Amino acid sequence: MEAYPDTSFIFAHTNAYNTPDNPELVRKVAYDNLDALIRNQPATKTQKELIRGLNQRTGSQHDVSSITKLEAGRILAEGNIQPQHGYSLVY
């Protein structure tokens, strides 16, 4: 944990003998938790480098200091920046 302090851990438990009282609530909580983890992941080094290059080429002023993977992917897609071989914009 010291080497990767921003790591998120996901704990799950399956109860094979009892069904949840409210399946809709369970689905919503599970979706919301996973969605929040995905949305809040910081942008990758590659994404930030590509956005800095986009800023230089277009004069745009995208701040990459606290950008998320999702935001970076959208900026790069709008700028029609294709990922390099082996990289994806949002993963």
Q: What is the pLDDT of residues 33-60, one digit of tens each?
A: 888 888 889 999 999 999 999 999 999 9
Q: What is the pTM of this model?
A: 0.61
Residue type, 71: E
Q: Is the pLDDT of residue 71 over 80?
A: yes
Domain with 66 in it: 45-78
How far is residue 7's CA from residue 9's CA, in Å, rounded to a whole number?
7
Residue 11 confidence (pLDDT): 65
* Assigned domain for 31 exists: no
* Assigned domain for 14 exists: no
Nearest CA among 59, 52, 58, 57 for reference residue 72: 52
* Number of domain units in the chain: 1
**Which SS3 state, helix, strand or coil, does residue 66 take?**
coil
Check residues 80 and 58 and name the one with the higher pLDDT. Answer: 58
* Assigned domain for 50 exists: yes
* Assigned domain for 74 exists: yes
> Over the stretch 8-19, which tens digit does the pLDDT of each residue have?
766 666 665 556
Q: Is the pLDDT of residue 68 over 60?
A: yes
Q: How confident is the model at residue 6 (pLDDT cuts 50, 70, 90)?
A: confident
* Assigned domain for 69 exists: yes
* Assigned domain for 40 exists: no
